Structure 1
Amino acid sequence: MRASVTEISAFTAAAAHVLCFAGLAVAHSLAGPGAPVSDPARALRLLVVCEAPVVIAVFSYLRRDPKSCSFFKAAARGLIGLPVGAFFNAFGAIVLGAPVGIKYWMVTIYWSLLMSLFTFVPAACVFGVSKIDWQTVLCHSIYFTPTDVENYMISAPCHGAVLGAWLGAWPMPLDWERPWQEWPICVTYGAVAGHLVGMAVSPVLIAVHKRRVRAKAD
């Protein structure tokens, strides 16, 4: 086990994200083509069920200070963070206009749990309740100033998912009368796409960060 999570390499970050992508791919395969549109509740449920154990396991392994925090403690933080993050994501979505009718309850719950896996759970596993680390991860200036390696690994997919969900919501009020405009179908597509882009970008940011560190050392 590594002495510090800051020893993460770009390859390690890429491998971790590949595992998380595999969870999404398995869920998509099980749901079948077109399932997010024809049966969004089932598709979202499969995404959560397949992705949750992968995300919690991966980021619990990458926890900060593994000498004082065991894998199981980090995993417990992730399990606790899952519903907490889902609550904040659901609250934010409803405030921004997500429907609140009874027929939308289940899809909203599943969508919020998925967004929690994208945005909240990784930081909960790695940092726990460290206020400073959470502020750093949530801040956009992380991309313009030197920071710890794991911050890039968590921030880019998190910000990508939020931005993707926001962009994905744009077609919802348009009068196109397409089935994929229903909540939360297009928002889910946007969130997953943004999350995947963030996962692809984070190893690049880590590689650039390590190059800067080596250049300063020389």
Structure 2
Amino acid sequence: MSGPEAAGKTRTSRTKDASERLLDRELVDLPPDLRWREWMLRVEAVIFAAAGPVGRETLARVVGKDCSIDLLIDDLRAELRDRPYEIVFVAGGWQHRTRSAYASAIRASQASTRSAAPALSDFEAMVLMAIAYFQPITRGDLSKIFGKEVSRDTIASLRNANFLASGPRSPTPGAPYTNVTTKHFLSAFGLQTLRDLPDIEALEDAGLLSRKGVQDEALAAAECEED
């Protein structure tokens, strides 16, 4: 790498190094209780300001090297116990979230929120659910599940909402790209990992969900949209 691109990367690296040097992470001049308090405030400020979940590596940049991020988060959660918002772990990081008990009040206020997710049609929601459970999956295989074509527009809508990304190519003829869910999908639905999805076999055993049910519900949703 050479020229303007290399120079730009060097400047960015130098700026990052300089900013980290300017921040006193260890705070050795403070007594232990005030040092801990300052680390707590820093961590909360970073989580509050971030556009998405904040990982451990990011938070470690603003506290001492021997500071326990987990204990800091525990203390922050304790402080927020009586507040209408909390710090939760989703999609591999921590994020401020409004408590569900206040969702109706927020909706009634009609205020624009930072975390407002794009509205999905019933059919788009069913397609997203199928991808979440059966990923990586091609559009053709989705069409087989639903018994009708899943259009490129439907996939594009879910991609534009940042719920989907391209997965590995399928070994089928033509090697089409598969579809997989994103970290934003996990964050939007309050999941730490895909393992937090309800077990589909358990749902089937309980009679709450079936692969045929997915198909039937999707067809009904699609017919309603066409009407």
> TM-score w.r.t. structure 1 length?
0.26
Where is the strand percentage greater, Structure 1 or Structure 2? 2
> TM-score w.r.t. structure 2 length?
0.25
Where is the helix percentage greater, Structure 1 or Structure 2? 1
